[in-house]
Amino acid sequence: MKTNMKFVMSMSALTLMAAEAATAGFTPYVIRNADQDGGSNPSISTSAANTTFGIEYKRQKAGFGSNDVNGRTISQISNMQFTLNSATAYAGTTAPVILPYVNIWAKDATSGKYFVIYFGLDNFVTNTGGVKSINLGFDDMASAGAYVNVSESNAALNGLAIGGSWLATALGTPGAAGGNGYTMAQVANFEIVAPPASWVELGNSNGVGTGAPRERGTDVTFGFNWIFGQGSGINNGYNGYDYTVSGVSVVPAPSALALLGVAGLAGGRRRRA
């Protein structure tokens, strides 16, 4: 009976680990509209196979967000994948296609401050027959530059390690030349947390600019976000691309509970042998 109980508990742990490794669900959303063309929103269309984001005009911005990895630390991102199947240019576009980038909402437990971590993907692209893809985990990007963004409207707070600020206290001395001097390793232990809409709605008083990764109109946020727009292939800020993507996922590392269950299962098999 004891052996059977251990087996049941271990199988439950395996089930838990499998669930934790499942692909996170993503929701497409509008972040910001254009400053011309009547202030039109970026277009978003979805199908069973893919999602297309239309970034045509200056300042248009959209996101593909998930809250399924909230509560984990940045270092517990086991894998992230993304496939850009095609990028169709609007008339007048001459700029090269640039991959979307990652925004992650995190929280400093000491100060209680939320902030956004920007991570560029250009150095991690695999190009196969014109299809660009990303497949990497935290270990791959630990030494890469991370832009830590706490405000779009106030340059004095915009990710700079100002002496005495909460950000300088939380992150310490910048360790890389890229971004604003930080590395992904320096933000590794921050928890992925999506701030509530009530916090976002305070706007600039909390350092939340119009380009922050939150849904326009509702201020709903997602912990992990793929971002389209403002640099994503836009020519002189005006003409861009339709981005058609698929295979989008972010997978957390299995928890200690799941790993303990697997270890118990292995130990039980050794004893029976």
Per-residue confidence of the chain (273 residues) as pLDDT tens digits? Answer: 444 433 333 333 333 333 344 345 899 999 998 876 678 899 999 998 999 999 888 788 999 999 989 999 999 999 999 999 999 988 877 766 767 889 999 888 887 878 888 888 888 889 998 899 999 999 988 877 766 664 433 333 333 333 446 666 777 666 554 445 677 888 889 899 999 998 888 766 666 778 889 999 999 999 999 999 864 445 455 558 899 999 999 999 886 544 444 445 555 555 555
Q: Which pLDDT score, from 0 to 100, does residue 153 have?
A: 33
pLDDT of 53: 96
Measured CA to CA, the distance from residue 18 to residue 8 in angstroms comes to: 15
Q: Which candidate, 90, 131, 137, 84, places its Cα nearest to that of 248?
A: 84
pLDDT at 149: 60
pLDDT at residue 104 in the model: 92
Torsion sign (Cα): 14, 74, 225, 106: positive
CA–CA separation, 231 vs 99, rounded Å? Answer: 9
Residue with token string 């206290």? 169
pLDDT in the model for residue 233 = 44
Q: According to the model, what pLDDT value does residue 160 have? A: 37
Residue-level pLDDT at 152? 36
Query: How far apart, in whole angstroms, are the C-alpha atoms of residue 159 and residue 147?
Result: 7
How much is the pLDDT for 111?
Answer: 75
